[in-house]
Amino acid sequence: MLEPPVNDVPRDALLANYRRVRAFSEQLCEPLAAEDYVLQTAVEASPPRWHLAHVSWFFETFLLRPFRAGYQVFHPRFEYLFNSYYEQTGTGFWPRPERGLLSRPTVAEIYDYRSHVDTAMAALIGECAEALWPQVVQRLHIGLNHEQQHQELLVTDIKQNFAYNPLRPAYRPDLPAAPLADPAPLRWSPFEGGLFEIGAAQQGFAYDNERPRHRVFVEAFALADRPVTNGEWLEFIADGGYANPALWLSDGWTAVQQGGWRAPLYWEGQNRDWELMTLAGVRPLNPAEPVSHISYYEADAFATWAGKRLPTEAEWELAAAAQPVTGNLVDTAWLHPRPAPQVDGIRQLFGDVWEWTGSAYLPYPGYRPPAGALGEYNGKFMCNQMVLRGGSCATASDHIRASYRNFFYPHERWQFNGLRLAEDMR
Domain ranges within the chain, ordered by starting residue: 6-164, 188-424
pLDDT at 194: 97
Q: Is the pLDDT of residue 373 over 90?
A: no
Statement: residue 3 has pLDDT above 60: no
- Does the structure show a pLDDT above 60 at 28? yes
pLDDT at 87: 87
Provide the percentage of residues in the chain whose pLDDT is more than 90.
91
Rounded mean pLDDT, 276-298: 98
Supply the mean pLDDT for the chain.
Answer: 95
Q: How confident is the model at residue 4 (pLDDT cuts 50, 70, 90)?
A: very low
The confidence score (pLDDT) of residue 89 equals 85
Q: In what order do the strands lie in the sheet with 275-278?
A: 267-268, 275-278, 281-284
What would the mean pLDDT of 148-166 be, rounded to a whole number?
98
Taking residue 426's Cβ as centre, other Cβ atoms within 10 Å add up to: 7
Strand order in the sheet with 188-191: 188-191, 221-224, 422-424
pLDDT for the residue numbered 426 = 76
The pLDDT value recorded for residue 313 is 98
pLDDT of residue 6: 47
Read off the amino acid at residue 184. Answer: A
Residue 5: pLDDT above 70?
Answer: no
pLDDT at 271: 66
Under CATH, which number does the domain 188-424 receive?
A: 3.90.1580.10
**Nearest partner of 175 among 322, 398, 349, 334, judged by Cα:** 334
Query: Three-state DSSP class for 184?
Result: coil
Residue 285 has pLDDT above 70, yes or no: yes
Is the bond preceding residue 324 a cis peptide, omega within 30 degrees? no
The predicted-structure confidence for 86-137, as pLDDT tens digits, reads as follows 888 888 999 999 999 999 999 999 999 999 999 999 999 999 999 999 999 9
- Strands of 406-408's sheet in order across: 406-408, 386-389, 354-360, 417-419
Q: Find out whether 79 and 88 touch, Cβ atoms under 8 Å.
A: no
Helix orientation angle between 11-28 and 107-127, rounded to the nearest 10 degrees: 170
Residues in the chain, how many?
Answer: 426
In this prediction, residue 9 carries a pLDDT of 77
Which of 362-376 are b and which e, b meaning 16 or more Cβ less than 10 Å from the residue's Cβ? eebeebebeeeebbb
Q: Is 415 helix (H, G, I), strand (E, B) or coil?
A: coil
Q: Would the pLDDT of 301 be above 70?
A: yes
Q: How far apart are CA 129 and CA 133, in angstroms?
A: 6
pLDDT of 328 over the 80 cut: yes
* CB-based burial label for 214 (10 Å; 0-12, 13-18, 19+): middle
Give residue 7's pLDDT.
52
Q: Which phi and psi (to 5°) does residue 292 adopt?
A: -145, 170
DSSP letters spanning 22-57: HHHHHHHTTT--GGGGG---STT---HHHHHHHHHH
Distance from C-alpha of 210 to C-alpha of 3, rounded to nearest angstrom: 12
Is CATH 1.20.120 what the domain over 6-164 is classified as, yes or no?
yes
Q: Predicted confidence band at 2 (pLDDT cuts at 50, 70, 90)?
A: very low
pLDDT band at 1 (very low <50, low <70, confident <90, very high): very low
